[in-house]
């Protein structure tokens, strides 16, 4: 065998065996990795057997070398068959398939191991001569092709599965695996099955490189899909190799060196035996510290660019909890993410409800980066709805997405949305280390994006409140200049403004504290991975922020009442639908408090009446919300809408705490709350019922109220039926 052939086969064998070791030392010991490790191991043994047979065809061990490479060759399609049941997606494998595959493989391995059943004679008399058992060899070839074709059918099923799921990139890679497998099968069977059948054994060295290339290509695809942490496997492989080398070298040097000095005689006595036992115990005791030392060394080599994702999330949580200013919130959050992940640049766009777009860039200086920013800005302005929620460029499922990301020079896109509202988009360039974004990076960005979405929404709402306050102060200043003779009214307006601002600022803290508490639970690991519990906690936080917005809206309406700008916009509405929608919206809130919400709709209710839908909806919601919060668990809240003569009658009846009789006359006044209500719900404001009465009065209706302390209450209203005028053509 030529020197070139020896080098080629030796390289293939070493590469396959090293790949097998890397897979075995992986911390992610999935069945997929284990079966691929067996494929690589068999490729290495097959190559080593071929090389040994060709290098020493005249030795007595030549039949053994042949048996080794024929056994290893048979186990390659066998292990590949099981590997493809786990990659790229796990598919079911029946016990019958397992049984048939194992029995067939064992029979063939037994055939190879039986002298004369496959190989009758190997001779070398100036030239290599191999005599085969034709029937046995035909059986071997048939089983090999059967297992190979079965593996290809499994691979085709995988391709159809990932295409059906819409995973275009993975489908293309699985399709390439089939092509590479076909090439390897044709090459292997030609040089190692069909040519030997014709008596040509001098070219069997050409088959193993095909199998080695095939296993390495699959390994490459697994790494690209993020299904295998190659750095962890390499670190563990290097650590264990170093540990074994250092331990054996040091132990051998100490043992033989000291043994030669202490025990020069060749006879092994009891003292020398005791010495060997002590040395073995020392070796055993030093193995764990040595492994820890080498693990730290390899970690520093392979994980220089690593970071603590939990620490990063804790830093993000502290920023979102402490910052309410939008610019500071965005700047500090992007800086924290870029400090950990180390991208080439970070580009963050934030959208306000007024249509204004804010931008913050990290490492975006220079003409090239400015051009990238302009392209990103055009995409944000024209194709925002087409951007994915979270995606890295190598997972783009369409050519259009890939081109768009390449045009923006973005490796990762994180879109911040909350209940359909677009709040911002974060673009990240490639990592400075040159590594791909892995699953841990994407998990961090997903969690950080969800938390930032809530924080940015609160910051935007706070900014709107500040702008409203500024406008309110300007209006009061103009009113002061125009109405100098109305000092008393001016002082009253100023007092209402101060009350509003004070209470609004105070109530802002309650939802924010709730958000901080729930998100802190997620960060502390109480909810574990992304689970239904995490989603529940985030939804609770969102509900709190929505409550904050509703409270501010109440205060705005109160301010309009005091300033004389409170007006009713009557339009045709379906009041039954309004009530039904509000009951459906609050049903989940009632269920979380172990309450049953029942809606009863009466007959003969007009399809349309004239009323201000927004304000009536607020009154309907407020009365149900009060019943939920002031009712005892395991009770029923009954909501009824009906027609009462010329009026619409709406009532909410609960079995709650009730209102003390002495306090009932003041119940509908501004900022007043009963004593037991303050104890039950300390965060109330006392403006809901006041505004409800004002809305009903402006519609020409009357409030309904009955209550017995400790037994329950009935709140509601009547509205006169005012039908819209019919248009005639």
3-state secondary structure 647-671: EEEEEEEECECCCCHHHHHHCCCCC
pTM: 0.39
Q: Are 523 and 654 in contact (CB under 8 A)?
A: no
In the chain, the percentage of residues whose pLDDT exceeds 70 is 70
Q: What is the dihedral of CA 333, 336, 338, 340, to 10 degrees?
A: -140
Helix (H) or strand (E) holding 705: strand 702-708
Residue of 244, 205, 192, 159 whose CA lies nearest to 70: 192
Tell me if residue 417 falls in helix, strand or coil. Answer: strand
Comparing 260 with 93, which gets the higher pLDDT? 93
Q: List b or e across 472-501, with b for residues whose CB sees 16 or more CB atoms inside 10 angstroms.
A: beeebeebeeeeeeeeeebeebeebbebbb
Sign of CA dihedral 129, 131, 134, 137: negative
Distance CA 259, CA 262 (A): 5
pLDDT at 643: 92
User: What distances in angstroms separate CA 125 from CA 8, 116, 196, one per listed residue?
Assistant: 26, 20, 18
Distance CA 25, CA 232 (A): 8
- Residue 419: left (phi > 0), alpha (psi -120 to 50), or beta? left
3-228 CATH: 1.20.1070.10
Mean pLDDT of 265-285: 64
> Tokens 């074994």, residue?
244
In this structure, CATH architecture of domain 309-439 = 2-Layer Sandwich (3.30)
Q: Are 325 and 459 in contact (CB under 8 A)?
A: yes
Q: What's the topology of domain 460-563? A: Helix Hairpins (1.10.287)
Comparing 73 with 643, which gets the higher pLDDT? 643
Query: Which of 281-290, 381-390, 569-578 is modeled with the greatest confidence?
Result: 569-578
pLDDT at 504: 58
pLDDT in tens, 110-162: 888 887 787 777 776 666 677 778 888 888 888 888 888 888 888 888 777 76
Distance CA 697, CA 568 (A): 11
Distance CA 408, CA 386 (A): 14
Backbone angles phi, psi at 706, to 5 degrees: -145, 140
Q: Which CATH number fits domain 571-720: 3.65.10.10, 3.40.50.1000, 3.30.565.10, 1.25.40.10?
A: 3.30.565.10
Give all strands (DSSP E) within 126-180, no chain letters.
128-132
Mean pLDDT of 629-652: 91
CB-side neighbour CA atoms (13 Å) of 286: 13
Mean pLDDT of 649-676: 85
What's the chain's average pLDDT? 76
pLDDT at 637: 93
In this prediction, residue 602 has a pLDDT band, given cuts at 50, 70 and 90, of very high
pLDDT in tens, 252-266: 666 666 666 666 655
pLDDT at 264: 62
Q: Do domains 460-563 and 571-720 have the same CATH topology?
A: no
Comparing 260 with 401, which gets the higher pLDDT? 401
Neighbours of 366 (CB within 10 A): 10
> Tokens 């709040």, residue?
423
pLDDT at 227: 47
Helix axes 62-83, 95-113, angle to 10 degrees: 170
Distance CA 714, CA 360 (A): 53
The residue extents of the domains of the chain are 3-228, 233-302, 309-439, 460-563, 571-720
């Amino acid at each position: 065998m030529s020197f070139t052939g020896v080098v080629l086969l030796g390289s293939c064998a070493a590469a396959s065996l090293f790949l097998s070791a890397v897979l075995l030392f992986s911390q992610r010991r999935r069945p997929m990795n284990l079966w691929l490790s067996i494929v690589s191991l068999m490729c290495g043994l097959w190559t080593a057997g071929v090389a040994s047979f060709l290098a020493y065809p005249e030795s007595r061990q030549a039949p053994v070398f042949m048996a080794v490479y024929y056994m290893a060759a048979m186990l390659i399609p066998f292990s590949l068959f099981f590997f493809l049941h786990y990659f790229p997606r796990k598919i079911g494998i029946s016990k019958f398939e397992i049984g048939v595959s194992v029995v067939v493989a064992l029979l063939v391995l037994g055939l190879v191991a039986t002298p004369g059943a496959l190989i009758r004679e190997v001779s070398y008399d100036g030239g290599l001569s191999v005599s085969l058992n034709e029937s046995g060899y035909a059986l071997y070839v048939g089983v090999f092709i059967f297992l190979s074709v079965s593996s290809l059918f499994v691979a085709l099923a995988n391709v159809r599965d990932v295409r059906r799921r819409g995973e275009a990139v993975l489908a293309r890679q699985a399709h390439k695996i089939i092509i590479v497998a076909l090439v390897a099968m044709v090459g292997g069977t030609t040089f190692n099955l069909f040519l030997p059948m014709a008596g040509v054994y001098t070219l069997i060295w050409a088959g193993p490189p095909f199998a080695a290339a095939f296993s390495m290509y699959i390994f490459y695809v697994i790494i690209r899909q993020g299904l295998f942490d190659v750095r962890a496997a390499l670190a563990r492989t290097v650590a264990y190799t170093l540990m074994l080398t250092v331990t054996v070298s040091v132990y051998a040097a100490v043992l033989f060196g000291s043994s030669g000095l202490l025990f020069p005689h060749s006879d092994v006595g009891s003292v020398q035996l005791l010495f060997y036992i002590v040395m073995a115990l020392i070796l055993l005791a030093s193995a764990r510290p040595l492994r820890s030392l080498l693990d730290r060394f390899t970690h520093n080599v392979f994980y220089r660019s690593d970071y603590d994702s939990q620490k990063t999330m804790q830093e993000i949580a502290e920023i979102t909890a402490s910052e309410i200013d939008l610019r500071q919130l965005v700047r500090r959050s992007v800086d924290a993410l870029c400090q950990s992940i180390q991208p080439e640049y970070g580009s963050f766009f934030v959208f306000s409800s007024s249509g204004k777009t804010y931008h913050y860039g990290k490492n975006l200086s220079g003409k090239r980066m400015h051009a990238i920013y302009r392209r990103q800005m055009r995409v944000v302005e024209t194709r925002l709805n087409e951007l994915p929620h979270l995606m890295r460029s190598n997972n783009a499922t369409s050519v259009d997405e890939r081109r768009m990301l390449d045009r923006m020079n973005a490796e990762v896109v994180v879109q911040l949305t909350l209940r359909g509202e677009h709040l911002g988009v974060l673009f990240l360039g490639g990592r400075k280390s040159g590594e791909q974004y892995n699953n841990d990076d994407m998990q961090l960005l997903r969690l950080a994006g969800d938390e930032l979405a809530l924080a940015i929404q609160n910051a935007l709402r706070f900014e709107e409140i500040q702008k409203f306050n500024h406008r309110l102060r300007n209006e009061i200043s103009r009113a002061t200049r125009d109405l100098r003779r109305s000092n008393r009214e001016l002082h009253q307006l100023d007092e209402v403004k101060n009350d509003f601002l004070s209470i609004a600022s105070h109530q802002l803290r309650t939802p924010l504290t709730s958000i901080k508490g729930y998100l802190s639970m997620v960060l502390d690991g109480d909810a574990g991975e992304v689970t239904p519990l995490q989603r529940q906690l985030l939804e609770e936080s969102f509900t709190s922020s929505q409550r904050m917005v509703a409270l501010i809206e109440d205060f705005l309406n109160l301010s309009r009442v005091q300033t004389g700008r409170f007006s009713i916009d009557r339009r045709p509405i379906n009041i039954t639908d309004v009530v039904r929608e509000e009951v459906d919206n609050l049903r989940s809130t009632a269920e979380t408090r172990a309450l049953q919400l029942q809606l009863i709709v009466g007959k003969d209710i007009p399809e349309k009446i004239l009323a201000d839908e927004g304000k009536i909806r607020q009154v309907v919601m407020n009365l149900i919300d009060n019943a939920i919060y002031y009712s005892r668990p395991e009770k029923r809240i009954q909501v009824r809408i009906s027609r009462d003569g010329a009026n619409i009658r709406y009532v909410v009846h609960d079995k709650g705490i009730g209102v003390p009789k002495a306090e009932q006359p003041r119940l509908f006044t501004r900022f007043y709350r009963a004593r037991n209500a303050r104890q039950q719900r300390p965060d109330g404001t006392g403006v809901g019922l006041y505004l409800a009465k004002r809305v009903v009065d402006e519609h020409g209706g009357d409030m309904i109220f009955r209550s017995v302390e400790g037994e329950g209450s009935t709140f509601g209203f009547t509205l006169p039926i005012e039908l819209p005028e019919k248009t005639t053509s």
